[in-house]
Chain A
């Protein structure tokens, strides 16, 4: 598969901390690539760096075009959708306004897709997003990203803090997304990753330490060594 996104030698400093220390990463076109790692290894920072939300150094190419010098809004307009870790819905705006804001100028917004995936958002259109539950806010955050036709979706821990029933719902939505979109997914829930991902990339201490198919997660010793979960063989 052709590389949709190619990242080379990506460095990010946050204050005195050298968070990303030369990340090399490829995301093929089609399906979901999962970005894994222990807490604090730089997964969220990687996504934020791709979008230019933090200062970074290195090469980032989207379908061959260098984007590392572009402003965040220009990168997003190239077709990068973003679902942030903490949802970051606009609490003071209504659900309708949150979606309306996300619709890019000059593009046809996919309201039908969003309301098909999340019928509740249509019913709660006039409700302030700040009064929604965590799961409903996650629907707004994902819906906001799906409103536009994306070349690549960056999704940061969409199941974080959700009840098990909601995790299954979100996983179902991600499964549908994977049928038509390309996504780079940060996710701690390995069951979700096994179900959705076509490839995995593992970060540790600001570097990529493993890439492979999701079946690698069946190797308990490897999972324990890379992610610190499960039991060592």
Chain B
């Protein structure tokens, strides 16, 4: 039972990171029709910005506060980078979807190469507060504390996004834009501001995933964004393009499946996720949330 509980909480922690990447990816595609292959770059930039900031904040004696401040910087850098990408690279290619895909693929490759060029191929150790790697007993299971933080962060982002989409003017514009972008502009709304905002939100969430992945794996490497992006794409397709709730459900399903299968059949976890994707597409081509995959 303790093993099952540990696997479940770990799977939820992994799912939390997938959700943080997938939520922005899903909103960006839903609103703008941009398949953003550079989304993993936002994660990498956020993770490395956090690692770099932490190394420069030696003046702060408390490890916890140093990490919190570095994480905040990393997340803001990720959001700013994403907004800049939208303004400089995506906006000029509005409605030119093939070119947009090529640009985002190119940016993804360039970001990895740039990080490798500056900090090398080797993974960098993440200095995190020791309590994050300690455990909490739940029944007979000892659960690493970072799993709770990852789950809580994703839950907060989910609640924040839902509240933002439901209660704010921009949230209303984004929800309407996901349904019919042309009609939103025909109501006199400059939807381009919403585009930039969605990119910034997506970049912020992805950068947070980068920080948390650094905590989860205790290190960060140049390929982290790319590897998590693959699973985030699967989550988005299963959950429904443009659906935040669908992404949340699919993230949990994918994270748990991967953990359970990897434990009982080591090495087959990734394959099981791909099979899950195929099964969902066969059974519900319109995805879990009823949106076209």
Q: Using a CB–CB distance below 8 Å, which chain A residues touch chain B?
A: 51, 53, 71-73, 76-77, 82, 84, 88, 90-93, 97, 100-102, 104, 144, 148
Q: A71-B185, A73-B190, A77-B188 are in contact. Are A91 and B172 (CB under 8 A)?
A: no
Residue from B172, B182, B190 in contact with A101 in the complex, judged by beta carbons closer than 8 Å: B172
A19 to chain B minimum Cβ distance, whole angstroms, is: 17
Any A CB within 8 A of the CB of B187: yes
Assembled-state Cα–Cα distance A76/B190 (Å):
10
* Residues in chain B near residue A88, CB distance under 8 A: 180, 183, 186
Central interface residue in B182, B187, B191, by most chain A CB within 10 Å: B187
* Residues in chain B near residue A51, CB distance under 8 A: 186
Assess whether A144 is in contact with B172, with CB atoms less than 8 Å apart. no
- Chain B residue nearest to A98 (CB atoms) is B176
Assess whether B183 is in contact with A90, with CB atoms less than 8 Å apart. yes
Residue from B176, B185, B188 in contact with A93 in the complex, judged by beta carbons closer than 8 Å: B176
Assess whether B188 is in contact with A104, with CB atoms less than 8 Å apart. yes
Q: Which of B160-214 contact A (CB under 8 A)?
A: 172-173, 175-176, 179-180, 182-191
**28 pairs, A vs B, C-beta closer than 8 Å:** A53-B182, A53-B185, A53-B186, A72-B185, A72-B186, A73-B185, A73-B188, A73-B189, A73-B191, A76-B186, A77-B188, A84-B183, A84-B186, A88-B180, A90-B175, A90-B183, A91-B179, A92-B175, A92-B179, A93-B172, A93-B176, A93-B179, A97-B172, A97-B175, A97-B176, A101-B184, A101-B187, A102-B187
Q: A73-B191, A88-B180 are in contact. Are A93 and B175 (CB under 8 A)?
A: yes
Assembled-state Cα–Cα distance A91/B183 (Å):
12
Assess whether A90 is in contact with B180, with CB atoms less than 8 Å apart. yes
Assembled-state Cα–Cα distance A104/B187 (Å):
8
Assembled-state Cα–Cα distance A2/B224 (Å):
65
* Residues in chain B near residue A76, CB distance under 8 A: 185-188
A126 to chain B minimum Cβ distance, whole angstroms, is: 13
* Residues in chain B near residue A82, CB distance under 8 A: 186-187
* Residues in chain A near residue B185, CB distance under 8 A: 53, 71-73, 76
A143 to chain B minimum Cβ distance, whole angstroms, is: 12
Assembled-state Cα–Cα distance A51/B175 (Å):
22
* Residues in chain A near residue B179, CB distance under 8 A: 90-93
* Residues in chain A near residue B184, CB distance under 8 A: 101
A140 to chain B minimum Cβ distance, whole angstroms, is: 12
* Residues in chain A near residue B190, CB distance under 8 A: 71, 73
Assembled-state Cα–Cα distance A232/B188 (Å):
44
* Residues in chain A near residue B180, CB distance under 8 A: 88, 90
Assess whether B172 is in contact with A100, with CB atoms less than 8 Å apart. yes
Mark contacts of B113-130 with chain A using CB atoms, 8 A cut-off: 1 yes-contact digit, 0 otherwise. Answer: 000000000000000000
Assess whether A90 is in contact with B176, with CB atoms less than 8 Å apart. yes
